[in-house]
Structure 1
Amino acid sequence: MNKEKVVLAYSGGLDTSVILKWLENTYQYEVIAVCVNVGQEDDFPAIKKKALSTGAIKAYVLDVKEEFVTDYIFPTLKAGAVYEDDYLLGTSFARPLIAKKLVEIAEAEGAVAIAHGATGKGNDQVRFEATIKALNPYLKIIAPWRIWDLKSREDCIDYAAKNNIPIPVTKKDIYSRDSNIWHMSHEGGNLEDTWNQHETNIYKMCVAPEDAPNTPGYVEIQFEAGVPVAVDGVKYNPVDMIEKLNTIAGAHGVGIIDIVENRLVGMKSRGVYETPGGTLLFQAHKSLEKLTLDRATMNFKKGISEKYAQLVYDGLWFTPLKEALDQFVDSTQQYVTGSVKLKLFKGTCTSVASTSQYSLYNEEFVTFGEDDVYNQKDAEGFINLFALPLKIRSIMKFEQENKHKSDKQVI
């Protein structure tokens, strides 16, 4: 009788290598390993080879960087979604894409289950599983860290040794890291004490701001309908553009944050994030919106941006509300076209100039001199109507106070 198949989100590290064998031993599954390349710097041929040597019947390596940028990064950028005012969602929106690919492979291979290596304390378990349930509710989900008897890295090493699983002999990095083309996150180690200042030697994408050039750098980013299309007048495909901006911003130490955030599962965590190119894009996009969006739309969109960020952070990418918000965001972006010039210096990123054919700023209208569209005498009537509620309230207050004084005098 044919064995049932399970698709495993596989990275080639200790945890997923042990999980691969554990799935075979515990459930007698045939394991299909899937490594999704969202821009992390890994040796993908070696990962595929290791999966097969560890016991996988098949191993996929999927390059989805372009889909990641165009279908996940850019929509979030257009929405202006930033979680808790700081985090540009680098890990958050990669997980739904990875889970989507796992579902596609599972359906193509006739697998009955999907397994992942996320722990029971983090957000990623929710992001993976919410996506799987949204896309195919009939697939079983296996999260070994929530059910097996292995409780530590040492237990995993012992299991690997007993089952002849090749594991790296290099010293373990004290930090837990996640990386993709958009960002690099650092957690654990001495960061777990919030009183410890993080060491600058942890950076992978950026130089330390104090080591950045002593003269500022400038970069111009061009947008069409809210989507970045060119850097310094040169058009790039989406992947090359992110990589180009990462290089430019990283050299100036731009894009580093050290934050304490609220995890979805109910606890706080501290992390250091590097998002160099993303920081430039968010700053430029915000500046262009200030030039092209009217006041009411811009103010309303702020609330939408916060809700959008919450949905992405919580793993609710494939939801009706997220789809509806995308429709609103896209309608606001039709005139967000133009260019923004940014100044980069010692870890800072500042918008210094912007231009758009759809600019709502008009020098003729805001000048202190005479113009044809604004009669300063009209302001009096406007102010009278605008302040009418305040005037009525004040009249009422004066009348009540005078009545009270009159009553006192009668007594």
Structure 2
Amino acid sequence: MMADIKKVVLAYSGGLDTSVIVKWLQENYQCEVVTFTADIGQGEEVEPARAKAQAMGVKDIYIEDLREEFVRDFVFPMFRANAIYEGEYLLGTSIARPLIAKRLVEIAQEQGADAISHGATGKGNDQVRFELGAYALTPNIRVIAPWREWDLTSRETLMNYAAKHHIPIDFNKAGKKSPYSMDANLLHISYEGGGLEDPYWEPEEDIWRWTVSPEKAPDQPEYVELTYRGGDIVAINGTEMTPAQVLTQLNALGGKHGIGRLDLVENRYVGMKSRGCYETPGGTIMMKAHRAIESITLDREVAHLKDELMPRYASLVYNGYWWSPERQMLQTMIDDSQRYVNGVVRVKLYKGNVYIAGRKSDDSIFDANIATFEDDRGAYNQKDAEGFIRLNGLRLRIAAGKGRKLL
């Protein structure tokens, strides 16, 4: 099997794990390694990955800025669905994986490679997300997952392997590395491991990198106007922006006001519970504002149906089924619902919270003449409610008349 592999495309971050994987693949599979590094807004310089890959003899090195595609084609569609996993998680890591899988298989096809590889562990969700995405797009692709094959089971053994094989790792910097396993992109940053493995332990303040503590946030609220078109934010305070620019600006605003921190114990797809901390400042604002603009532009039953389907949609994203036919079917329905989700939402940011200060739309179906508590001038006949209530109560009255007890 190993002899069949001549060339592998590796999802390469330039960090310890994937740098070790480059050498491990070369040594164990005797194959050529092509590296692919995606800039999806992780906030770290990606170009140093080129020098590290070159130092290990990699000839074909892909480093791509995918921030616009990431937000436009993955984050924004997901937020049209108001997707939240298990009531809290905004799916920041989950939504990045299908894009990386897509580019991995595309590069493999360009290169005529025999396989792709990734650095996800055998305990996590990412192995599932990468591989399900790859199989959906290229059904006969071979996948090499070193964490499921090798005997390097800890950071210490990885460091020893790197030292033995002269792998270019910044050991001084690595020695000061955060005790947490972190993943970042333009939507969020996550923290796992270290003290977080005790679910009762409260993380220290310096764990957080994007947000100030709500206690130290400005004492004055800040108002921001978000313009929606087709369910997506297209302008902030009247200034037109690209999708990536929108999320970048909202991250800065949310971080400034201590918005978007989350401490969560989640259920992984592979069966275990995992505790993590997340910062999603821009996404938290987007979620609140999107529901606000939908509240005046969506039909009641459309809105309720979306809410009923949302947990299924969120689970599909979390579990790695972005490229599945059922997610695409749901997306078609969701996108159709957004035709009239246009207008402006005014949010107030203050001390870790997002408040809706107002919403307006030329496509609003909120009718003040009907909803008013003042004189509605005949726009609504309140006597109609009597028959409505009696008809809806008919089955309850029949059951009660038969002596069926509720208590």
TM-score by structure 2 length?
0.95
Q: Which amino acid is the alignment partner of residue 302 of structure 2?
A: T
> Does 2:191 align with 1:189?
no
1:228 to 200, 223, 233: 233
Judge conservation of contact 1:217–1:344 (CA < 8 Å) in 2: yes
Corresponding residue number in structure 2 for 1:403: none
User: Aligned partners of 1:118 and 1:2: how far apart in 2?
Assistant: 23
Deviation string, structure 1 residues 291-312 (Cα, Å, up to 9, x no partner): 1112211111112111110000
1:315 to 307, 320, 326: 320
Corresponding residue number in structure 2 for 1:408: none
Corresponding residue number in structure 1 for 2:379: 373
Q: In structure 2, do the counterparts of structure 1 residues 154 and 370 end up closer, same or farther at CA, with 3 Å as the change threshold? A: closer
CA-CA distance at 1:166 after TM superposition:
1.3
CA-CA distance at 1:372 after TM superposition:
3.2
Q: In structure 2, do the counterparts of structure 1 residues 388 and 2 end up closer, same or farther at CA, with 3 Å as the change threshold? A: closer
Q: How does 1:162-201 map to 2 (within 5 A)?
A: 162-169=164-171, 170=173, 171=175, 172-201=177-206
User: Secondary structure at the residue paired with 1:93?
Assistant: helix
Corresponding residue number in structure 2 for 1:130: 132
User: Aligned partners of 1:8 and 1:180: how far apart in 2?
Assistant: 19
Deviation string, structure 1 residues 57-82 (Cα, Å, up to 9, x no partner): 21110111111001000000001111
Deviation string, structure 1 residues 360-394 (Cα, Å, up to 9, x no partner): 21111112313233112222222221212122223
> Does 2:396 align with 1:390?
yes
Judge conservation of contact 1:21–1:55 (CA < 8 Å) in 2: no
Corresponding residue number in structure 1 for 2:11: 9
Q: Which amino acid is the alignment partner of residue 246 of structure 1?
A: N
Q: Displaced runs of 4+ in structure 1, greater than 6 A?
A: none
2:255 to 233, 250, 253: 250
Judge conservation of contact 2:224–2:237 (CA < 8 Å) in 1: yes
User: Aligned partners of 2:347 and 2:249: how far apart in 1?
Assistant: 15
1:276 to 261, 275, 281: 281
Q: Which amino acid is the alignment partner of residue 372 of structure 1?
A: G
User: Aligned partners of 2:96 and 2:229: how far apart in 1?
Assistant: 24
Between 163-172 and 142-151, the greater mean CA deviation after superposition: 163-172
Q: Which amino acid is the alignment partner of residue 23 of structure 2?
A: K
Q: In structure 2, do the counterparts of structure 1 residues 319 and 3 end up closer, same or farther at CA, with 3 Å as the change threshold? A: closer
User: Secondary structure at the residue paired with 1:133?
Assistant: helix
Judge conservation of contact 1:130–1:316 (CA < 8 Å) in 2: yes
CA-CA distance at 1:2 after TM superposition:
11
User: Aligned partners of 1:180 and 1:2: how far apart in 2?
Assistant: 35
CA-CA distance at 1:185 after TM superposition:
0.5
User: Aligned partners of 1:237 and 1:116: how far apart in 2?
Assistant: 30
Between 66-75 and 164-173, the greater mean CA deviation after superposition: 164-173
User: Aligned partners of 1:331 and 1:46: how far apart in 2?
Assistant: 43
Corresponding residue number in structure 2 for 1:50: 52
Deviation string, structure 1 residues 15-35 (Cα, Å, up to 9, x no partner): 111110111111110000110
User: Aligned partners of 1:390 and 1:3: how far apart in 2?
Assistant: 68
Q: How does 1:2-401 map to 2 (within 5 A)?
A: 4-169=6-171, 170=173, 171=175, 172-368=177-373, 369-397=375-403
User: Aligned partners of 1:137 and 1:393: how far apart in 2?
Assistant: 55
CA-CA distance at 1:43 after TM superposition:
2.3
User: Secondary structure at the residue paired with 2:348?
Assistant: strand
Between 144-153 and 118-127, the greater mean CA deviation after superposition: 144-153
5+ residue gaps, structure 2, are none
Q: Which amino acid is the alignment partner of residue 165 of structure 1?
A: I
CA-CA distance at 1:49 after TM superposition:
1.3
Q: Percent identity?
A: 49
Paired residues, number: 399
User: Aligned partners of 1:226 and 1:370: how far apart in 2?
Assistant: 32
Judge conservation of contact 2:5–2:114 (CA < 8 Å) in 1: no
5+ residue gaps, structure 1, are 401-411
Deviation string, structure 1 residues 154-189 (Cα, Å, up to 9, x no partner): 211221122111111122210110001111111111
CA-CA distance at 1:278 after TM superposition:
0.8
Deviation string, structure 1 residues 81-103 (Cα, Å, up to 9, x no partner): 11111111110010110011000
User: Aligned partners of 1:190 and 1:223: how far apart in 2?
Assistant: 41
User: Aligned partners of 2:289 and 2:108: how far apart in 1?
Assistant: 40
Deviation string, structure 1 residues 251-276 (Cα, Å, up to 9, x no partner): 00001111111111111111111011
CA-CA distance at 1:133 after TM superposition:
0.8
Judge conservation of contact 1:20–1:55 (CA < 8 Å) in 2: no
User: Aligned partners of 2:5 and 2:191: how far apart in 1?
Assistant: 39
User: Secondary structure at the residue paired with 1:60?
Assistant: strand
Q: In structure 2, do the counterparts of structure 1 residues 2 and 270 end up closer, same or farther at CA, with 3 Å as the change threshold? A: closer
User: Aligned partners of 1:259 and 1:157: how far apart in 2?
Assistant: 30
Q: Which amino acid is the alignment partner of residue 247 of structure 2?
A: I
User: Aligned partners of 1:36 and 1:315: how far apart in 2?
Assistant: 19
CA-CA distance at 1:3 after TM superposition:
7.7
User: Secondary structure at the residue paired with 1:397?
Assistant: coil
User: Aligned partners of 2:47 and 2:395: how far apart in 1?
Assistant: 70
